[in-house]
Structure 1
Amino acid sequence: MLHFELVTPERLVRSEEVHMVVVPGTDGDFGVLEGHAPFMSTIRDGALSVYRAPNAQPETVAISGGFAEVNARGLTVLAERVD
């Protein structure tokens, strides 16, 4: 499982173990699974898709601006705003 955190400047919105997250990157959407290579990207306004399990329907979260970082601990998305 992938450790996923969604953070705004004001608060930690969510911290959980998930199967996959698809992030709206500035250069296009990208998916992150457990074991992904270290990576950093700016993000555009759009929908973050969170898959809790393989073959599950995604939960979408509207986010605005910010950046995403993948490291050995998992994926952290720091969004300017979460709607």
Structure 2
Amino acid sequence: MAGKLSFSLVAPEREVFSGLVDQVDAPGVEGDFGVLPAHAPFMTALREGAVTVIDGAKRRVFEVKGGFADVNAQGLTILAEEATEISA
């Protein structure tokens, strides 16, 4: 896979995750979606569910409760109402 995706997961109290990854899967209100490097820009609301961060063979899973996802030329930012890591 060419390049990495810049990803940031932010909750009101702190930045929960920030880094370069291969893929992020998230729970959109209109269905789950995945974001890879150089993804087309879009913005969507999130429903409660798991955000899975994939980097090579490593996976980290975060539980989010609402919020928004913004994909742009700089990468993916998720602004979550609540976010907690449930597995590393």
- Counterpart residue number, 2:67: 66
- Counterpart residue number, 2:28: 25
Q: 2-side partners of 1:44 and 1:57: how far apart?
A: 24
TM-score by length of 2: 0.87
Give CA-to-partner distance per residue, 1:39-64, whole Å, 9 cap, x none. Answer: 100000000011012xx253211111
| Structure 2 gaps, min length 5 | none
Q: 1-side partners of 2:75 and 2:16: how far apart?
A: 16
Q: 2-side partners of 1:22 and 1:65: how far apart?
A: 15
Shift >4 Å, 4+ stretches? none
- Map 1:34-73 → 2, pairs under 5 A: 34-53=37-56, 56=57, 58-73=59-74
Q: 1-side partners of 2:46 and 2:58: how far apart?
A: 22
